[in-house]
Structures are given as C-alpha cells and as structure tokens.
Structure 1
Amino acid sequence: MSKNSSRRPPAIGPGSPCPCGLDSPYGDCCGALHGGRREAATAERLMRSRYTAFVVRDAAYLLRSWHPSTRPTGLDFDPDQRWTRLDVLATTGGSAFHTEGTVEFRAHFTVRGRADAQHEDSRFVRDEGRWVYLGPVPPPGARAGF
C-alpha cells in the first residue's frame, strides 16, 4: 500500500454498510441524503448523515447541512483521521413535528492509529423546512448566540 493510499477515506459504495450505525446500506441510508435524493426527516437522521459525511469526506454535504449563521466558509479534513463508530446517546425534540432538537453523541476515531472520541450535544433547527446543524448546545449559564 502506498503512503498516499493510506490517507484516502475508506471506500464506501452504495451496498456497503452505512457508517452511521443504522441497519441499511449506505446508498439507501446516508448516501441518499448526501446525493440529494432525500432530506433528513429528523435531527438525529441529519446528525447521523453528517457523521457519515465526515467518514466519506463529503465537505459539500456538511456545508449544505450547516445553518447559514454558523456555517464556516470551508472544511479541511485531517488525512490521518479515520472515523470508526458513532454512538447516539440522547435526543430531545427533533422529530417531524418539531422545529428544534438536540442530539448527544460520541463519535469515535483514530489519528495515526491512536483512538479517541468526540463527545457533543448538538443543536439542530429547521431552516426553510430542512433540518440543519446549528452548533453545540451552549454550556449551562452561557448566552445562546441564536
């Protein structure tokens, strides 16, 4: 294996298991959202699809699914980082009947073979009818920026 090939994201095809952890192939699950064939029906589905977008390094989807008020101008992926598993820990709101929701998750990864995890309680809102990522839930006592 060449040095460059170890820096590529894992090959995930339409029939591959979806990295988000749901029991569906990528093409029918997060791949359908990434490709614009479907919209996320819940905040949790959007969060799962965003995790998978990090796995496959789909910056365009990540930016499209980010609220305009908090969206960065671009994204850079660490070529040595590999996302390995997603654990959804809790959700509030975020259903088809809500306009806001939160999803607490732990996303596991390795960097140069060393295991670590990102833990976040994320805020999601509807923007023009679509679920989008707003940012982390502010810590208790902090002023909300929205």
Structure 2
Amino acid sequence: MSKSKPPAGCPCGGPALATCCGPFLDGWLDPARQPPTAQALMRSRYTAYTLGNEPYLLATWHPSTRPTERIIDPEESLQWLGLEVKSALRLRQRKVEPANPDEDFVEFVARFRVAGKGQRLHEVSRFLREPDPALGGAARWFYVDGEFPEKA
C-alpha cells in the first residue's frame, strides 16, 4: 500500500496553506476574504513574506506607514524558519470591551536565516481596522507599525 504525503502545513504554523492563510493571500481584493482579526492578518503577512508576495504585504500595510520602495529583495539569501505568536494582547489581557475595538496588538517572534546565519525578529505589531477604498470601502485590518521589545 502506498503512502500519500500529507499536505504541507501553512508557513505561519497552521494546518495547511489552502485552509489557513491561502484564502487571504488569494483574495486580498475580495471584501469577503479578509483576515477577521489582527492576529490572522499578522499570520497571513508572515506567510506572504515566506512566499515573496509583495502585493499582499503592500495592500495590508496602512497607507500612513506603507513603504514606497520594494520590501522584498529577490536577490537576498533569506530563508524563513518559523513563527511563534507570543500574544494577541487584546484577547489575553483585556477581559472587558476594549477602548478601541478597531485597534489591536500582536507580539510575535519570527525566525529566519540570512546568508546561513540564524536570526530572529521579536516585534509587538500594531494593527488598525479601517475602511479600504480598494475594497469598495469595506473594513479590513492593516499593519501600522511595530516596536521591538528589549532583550531581557
């Protein structure tokens, strides 16, 4: 009896790309296929980085902080190794209704290798949910910016 190879997991750590981040990356111009939470957006952005999907990254970057230059260098020897979500701050720390339900923060560590040297990016990212003209005014989560916690 031959064994079939199980489908590869999503780069963000989810079960499979097709059922995890894939629908968001494939449907970034579809109002019905937007990440429902800041954490889902952060995971899909990590996946977009691993796949070199710059259009998705730019579309989900808040216009006030969106870079104008390229964000992915195809010549760079970069290999993404894994993602660990440390916390979705609103979900864990706030048991009551948040002051602004359209703002959220997600802390994560992304591991990667550049030219053979392992590195990690530890960030607390800030996200806003706002209407997007590209989606006919439908609301979507945007990555705004991030802070890098001090090493303990």
Q: TM-score, structure 1 length as denominator?
A: 0.77
In the alignment, structure 1 residue 20 sits paired with structure 2 residue 17: no
1:79 Cα deviation (Å)?
2.5
Give 1:137 shift.
4.1
Q: Which amino acid aligns with 1:82?
A: Q
The 2-side partners of 1:19 and 1:116 are apart by: 17
1:67 counterpart SS class: coil
TM-score normalized with structure 2 length? 0.74
Q: Is the 8 A contact 1:53 1:61 kept in 2?
A: yes
Where has structure 1 moved over 6 Å in runs of 4 or more?
none
Relative to its length, the structure with more helix (as a share) is 2
> Match for 1:99: what amino acid?
D
Q: Which residue of 2 aligns with 1:106?
A: 109
- Residue of structure 1 equivalent to 2:42: 47
CA RMSD of aligned residues (A): 2.1
Q: How far apart, in 2, do the equivalents of 1:137 and 1:125 lie? A: 15
Matched, 1:136 2:131: no
For 1:30, which of 21, 24, 28 is the aligned residue? Answer: 21
Give the secondary structure class of the aligned counterpart of 2:13.
coil
In the alignment, structure 1 residue 126 sits paired with structure 2 residue 122:
no
C-alpha separation in 2, matches of 1:110 and 1:137: 21
Q: Which has the larger radius of gyration?
A: 2
Unaligned runs of 5+ in 1: 1-14, 140-146
- Cα contact 1:67–1:127 (8 A) shared by 2: no
One of 63, 67, 73 as aligned partner of 2:62: 67
- Deviation of 1:93 (Å): 2.5
CA distance in 2, matches of 1:41, 1:29: 12
Using the alignment, how far apart are the partners of 1:111 and 1:17 within structure 2?
Answer: 22
Aligned pair count reads 123
